[in-house]
Chain A
Amino acid sequence: MARFLAPEAFSAATEVISLLPFNFERTGTQQYLVANMVGDFIRLTEDEINKLIDLRATPGDGLYEKAYSAHLITGSNQQAQRQLLALRLRSRMSFLQQATPLHIFVVTLRCEHSCPYCQVSRQSTDRSRFDMSEETAMRALDIAFASPASRIKIEFQGGEPLLNFSLINTIVSTAKVRSASLGKKVDFVIASNLALLDDVVLDFCKSNDILLSTSLDGPADLHNKNRPRPGANSHELATTGIRRAREVLGPDRIGALMTTTEASLDRVDEIIDEYLQLGLDGIFLRPLSPFGFAIKTKQFQKYDAKKWLSFYERGLRRVLEINRQGTPFREFYAALILTRMLSDRPIGYVDLRSPAGIGLGALVYNYDGSVFASDEGRMLAETGDNAFRLGNVDRDTYESLVLSDKLIDAISSSLTQCAPECSTCVYESHCGADPVYHHATQGDALGIKPLSAFCARQKGIMGLLLDILENSPEDAAILRRWVS
């Protein structure tokens, strides 16, 4: 005769339960947002969080079920959840196993634009002084191929890199031979304003599988204001270039990035429409860069963050509307954050990691052979601050650069896992360190987070995404499909 036991027989009242680590943030009167050790979010009331900490939760009360599923509590003698959390943590940190996948080659400082915000000095005459030499390039390749990553990306920047097209040619062919012999894969990107895009360049990109990345700040007046050029036709050249590249190389072989300035903040709809009209599959709504702007007071940054966040929210909602109307179109920063929040797959983006992506994620080889920990680090040096100059291709090896005290200090002092406020922040699992930004704006790699616009932006974006995921089912379904 079959005998079945009641639910109470399986209650943990007969077994001891334990608390698992979690972070939280007060979100309202007696309301908390809670995140477990791998960043899964759950909302609890003050009463619930207190009950949880006192382990006053039993099967059947609803709180037990919520908390157990979210890995906030476990059976003291159980194993599966501990193993699950460990496994997921390893996955989330596995980007560390592919050190330095990105190598940026600044092949020339020369440029025919004269953009006001550009930290790169425009040296349009003397080639030999401001072009990278072949010798420097080869030494830089030595370092790039010495990194442990099995797949590296070489990105050409400038000035305008196409002004030193012959060196790009040399680097690409050398790199291909090198990668084949080492059993590594190598991808190439040219970050260009496309003014010099011609059939020769397009053929070269096509036959070598090279991606193009360009700048598109928005409609013509906005773009041209940011990017003055003799002839005042930067926008026209960019859009023509984009169309041509899409045609010749394919729609997924050219991308565009915007630079956000004060003037952009009220025009996000137009900027998005500009991208849409060109058939681009998404947009990266970027923050205002502090480089080149003098920041007088720490308070100023925070209000900057508020204004930028309205810009971002408006832009994101416009993008969602476009999707609801039937056109697939992404906001790329949201897609990165969503991948962190909704999966354990590590993202390739080196600027939102802890340990920080400086050096470990990317190395920048300047035209003169000096090596920087990031592109922003190089921009800082233009203003006389060498905090992130790691060495020189003539003197250094990959190891001496990446294991330098300078780099290790910057990375270790900016770890979010150990930083005040960051280490207990509910968003920490999905955030990252930005030592260069904090050094530039506050004078140290760690920064005081309550004063950081980076922090305010991150919290704002994640709070917004969570709100949409929880309260707008149709938009939430769109967001979930952006997870790579």
Chain B
Amino acid sequence: MTLPLYGTASLSAGFSSDKARSVIRLRAVDSIGERHASDFGLVKTPEELKRAAESNWSSIFVVSDSSIQNEFSESFERQLILVPRKFDYLGDGDVLGFDHSSRKFRTLFRRNSAHNSLLVTERCNNYCLMCSQPPKDVDDRWILNEIKESLSLISPETRALTFTGGETLSDWEDFIGVLRQCRDRLPATSLQVLTNGRAFANSQIVDAWRDIEHPNLMAAIPVYASVDSTHDYIVQAKGAFDETVLGILKLKDRGQRVEIRVVLHALTAPIIAETCQWIARNMPFVDHVALMGLENTGFAVANDAMLWIDPMDYRDELARAVDLLAAAGVNVSVYNLPKCVLSRSVWPHALQSISDWKNGFVDECDRCYERKTCSGFFTTGRPRFSRGVHAITS
């Protein structure tokens, strides 16, 4: 089941037209403590509606399929949003972005999730064949502003935040400013930034990154091959490999943390042992390598014929790749692939990695011994299942 993170409110009231969007935070109606101007009482039952009025909530967020227009028009002076029942997963501490005129909203942050990811922009200077977030050439710099607003609403107890895109460093000065704010407002939150790394070929940018002096910041950068032409083809950008590798070198030269990611599909999986051999030999100083099963969404669907490969058909190469990196002392993990399609030698490196909102299992999994520690499957896009999927019962 895929959690719907986007939607349209059935009803809204009290939002002025002098501002296009608002960032709001949901609070349980009984929650104590200081109320932020952006806080909305979260109401899911008529009981809670009553308590909201009693607790003097001037702004409320109602999750309900029924029409409740009549019940409260006078009691609430400020703002009201009503959304359908399917958004019942929303809870205390969650942060949303809300568009006043269209009533469209999106979940920016969920407090009880371990996989919070903030989209920074949809622009990108690569155009990967398998991109799960196809680039758009739009002026969406308002997103960074919305993120800045959200930071004061996000719980400082949040363990980790991921920044994604598009290319997160598209507006690098503004974005680095956001990271600095994270350092100040959320000092205990580790940050992971997904980026193609090409910006770091520019010394000015990598120096600015270093100067954030964040206590726990990791750049997660894809490298798809050990050859420029292959990598450039996969990311559809000439010169990308050279810039990305140079960027990684500059980051490590300044003591910054780097993870290398490789998405596994028909163009990268057959050569994965060679790619990992190259990483082990040339960049053994990276902090982590993540080898990742393909999410069949976005461009991956359009390019399915070129990209689909059954994980059973690269199982041995993947085992070799993991062994090469491990023998060289490099931390390596395998993400997004169920254990039944992995060699046993790879299991210690296989992590449960699929974001909760798009993670699922199939019926076969009910009788599997390894289910508790297995990645499971993506529920997004058009899931394709390996012929090797089976319950492990021995």
Contacts and interface: CB of A to CB of B under 8 A. Distances in A.
Taking each of A7, A10, A343, A480, which has the highest tally of chain B beta carbons within 10 Å of its own beta carbon? A10
Given A4-B236, A80-B242, A88 B228 contact: no
Main secondary structure of the interface of A (DSSP, over half): helix
B124 to A, nearest CB: 13
B323 A9 contact: no
B229 interface: yes
A105 to B, nearest CB: 35
A65 B245 contact: no
Interface in A1-57: 2, 4-5, 7, 9-12, 40
Nearest to B127: A4
A69 B274 contact: yes
A67 B23 CA distance: 53
B245 A2 contact: no
A2 B327 CA distance: 41
Contacts of A481: 327
B228 A2 contact: no
B362 interface: no
A339 to B, nearest CB: 11
Taking each of A80, A87, A477, A483, which has the highest tally of chain B beta carbons within 10 Å of its own beta carbon? A80
B281 interface: yes
Contacts of A483: 327-328
A88 to B, nearest CB: 7
Interface in B197-254: 201, 226-230, 232-233, 236, 238, 241-243, 245-246, 249
A471 interface: no
B122 to A, nearest CB: 14
Contact of B249 (A5, A10, A80): A80
Contacts of B230: 59, 65
A477 B201 CA distance: 36
Contacts of B249: 80, 83-84, 87
Nearest to B229: A59
B246 to A, nearest CB: 4
Contacts of A88: 282
B129 A4 contact: yes
Interface in A444-484: 477, 480-481, 483
Contact of A7 (B201, B233, B282, B284): B233
Taking each of B229, B284, B302, B328, which has the highest tally of chain A beta carbons within 10 Å of its own beta carbon? B229
B238 A68 contact: no
A480 B323 CA distance: 10
6 closest A-B pairs by beta carbon, nearest first, are A59-B229, A80-B245, A69-B226, A10-B232, A78-B242, A480-B327
12 contacts: A5-B233, A5-B236, A11-B229, A59-B229, A60-B229, A68-B226, A69-B226, A75-B228, A84-B282, A87-B249, A480-B324, A481-B327
